[in-house]
Amino acid sequence: MMSPAEVLNARLQQRRALRSRSIKPWYRNGALVAGIVIVGSLVLIAVLAPLLAPYDPIAQELRNTLASPSAEHWLGTDKFGRDILSRLIWGAQVDLRVGFLAVLIPFVFGSVLGAIAGYFGGWLDTILMRIVDVFFAFPFYVMVIVLVFIFGSGEASIYLAIAAVSWVSYAKIVRGEVLVAKKQDYVTAARLGGMSHGRILVKHIGPNVLSQAIIYGMSDIVMDIMAIVTLGYLGLGIAPPTAEWGSMINDGQEFITTQWQQATIPGLMVVVASLGLSFLGDGLSDLMSPERRK
């Protein structure tokens, strides 16, 4: 075939070719880094709440209600004399946790169903898709509010309500991705290699389709935080006196002209969290898509 010199040359080139096609490292991905920094900081704040918060978030100081920001209370106090800053910090725990968990359940449930429907097709797929269509017919908030009303307020019912409604998006996304992936030659090759359907779904198709669901999940966390905040604002969310950004906005809105920071700052936190999660989603999308996909 080739002379030894040519073979050597070819091997040298192969090494060079491998290196030059290396993938852009994650730390060069601007959105990803920004997302990690922001979300990471918020998570840190939430985790370190007991150490960071100067006061107990539910401790009332009835002789010092509606105080303006001062050296003792950096953001002032609310109408029950509770320190706003401490409530903000502790609130991060609640909102982030609920946002994340509220996405995890539908993500798992919806993705699995969608993957099975997409892969096996047939009547399984048809039935699932009709169910999904029914769910999509109802507006998100209407359903969630009705369900929370039925289940009663509290963290568990929020999870249930949101999960019951939002799993369909994951099912649809993952099903679509699986439909495309299963036509790829590498899936056929895996079948020809004697692999079982289960193995193919989990090991081969899975990693290739979940990226879209994960990216959607990021924006879903944002949406769920908004939902919790809204529910909190409507009085249907986490029961008081637990600190939570939504209920803080609700509490603070009557004093918007005098103590504007009580409502605005929690609102800003929601915005920052959403921004961070969006960046994270963008960055992950970059990381998982074209370069890796090819």
Residue 68 engages other proteins in binding (rule: CB under 8 A): no
By C-alpha distance, which of 83, 48, 67, 52 is closest to 243?
83
Residue 195 engages other proteins in binding (rule: CB under 8 A): yes
Stretch of 29-37, 38-46, 165-173, 190-198 lying at the interface with other proteins (CB under 8 A): 190-198
Fill in the DSSP letter of residue 243: -
Stretch of 41-49, 132-140, 179-187, 237-245 lying at the interface with other proteins (CB under 8 A): 179-187
Alpha helices by DSSP H, listed for the chain, are: 4-20, 30-47, 49-52, 84-120, 122-136, 140-151, 155-181, 185-192, 197-199, 206-234, 245-252, 261-288, 290-293
- Please state the closest distance from residue 111 (CB atom) to other proteins, in A: 16
Give yes or no for a contact between 205 and 119, defined as CB atoms under 8 angstroms apart.
yes
Binding pattern to other proteins, positions 83-102, x when CB under 8 A?
Answer: --------------------
Stretch of 46-54, 143-151, 178-186, 229-237 lying at the interface with other proteins (CB under 8 A): 178-186
d(C-alpha 286, C-alpha 24), whole Å = 10
Size of interface with other proteins, in residues (CB under 8 A): 35
Task: Compute the residue count for the chain.
Answer: 294
Stretch of 14-22, 102-110, 233-241, 247-255 lying at the interface with other proteins (CB under 8 A): 14-22
Residue 53 CB partners (closer than 8 Å, separation 6+): 83, 85, 86, 89, 90
- Please state the closest distance from residue 201 (CB atom) to other proteins, in A: 13
Q: Which of 20, 63, 123, 257 binds other proteins (CB under 8 A)?
A: 20
Q: Which of 4, 63, 185, 198 binds other proteins (CB under 8 A)?
A: 185
d(C-alpha 250, C-alpha 190), whole Å = 55
Name 83's bridge partners: 77
204-243 positions binding other proteins, by CB under 8 A: 204, 207-208
- Please state the closest distance from residue 62 (CB atom) to other proteins, in A: 59
Nearer to other proteins, 40 or 193 (CB): 193
Residue 289 engages other proteins in binding (rule: CB under 8 A): no
- Please state the closest distance from residue 10 (CB atom) to other proteins, in A: 5
Q: Which of 68, 184, 235, 254 binds other proteins (CB under 8 A)?
A: 184
Percent helix / strand / coil, the chain, rounded to 5? 75, 0, 25
- Residue 70: in which H helix or E strand, if any? none
Instruction: Tally the C-alpha atoms within 13 A of residue 228's C-alpha that lie toward its C-beta.
Output: 35
Residue 63 engages other proteins in binding (rule: CB under 8 A): no
Residue 126 engages other proteins in binding (rule: CB under 8 A): no
d(C-alpha 98, C-alpha 103), whole Å = 8
134-173 positions binding other proteins, by CB under 8 A: none
d(C-alpha 217, C-alpha 197), whole Å = 26
| Residue ranges in contact with other proteins by CB under 8 A | 1-2, 6-7, 9-11, 13-15, 17-18, 20-23, 184-186, 188-195, 203-204, 207-208, 291-294
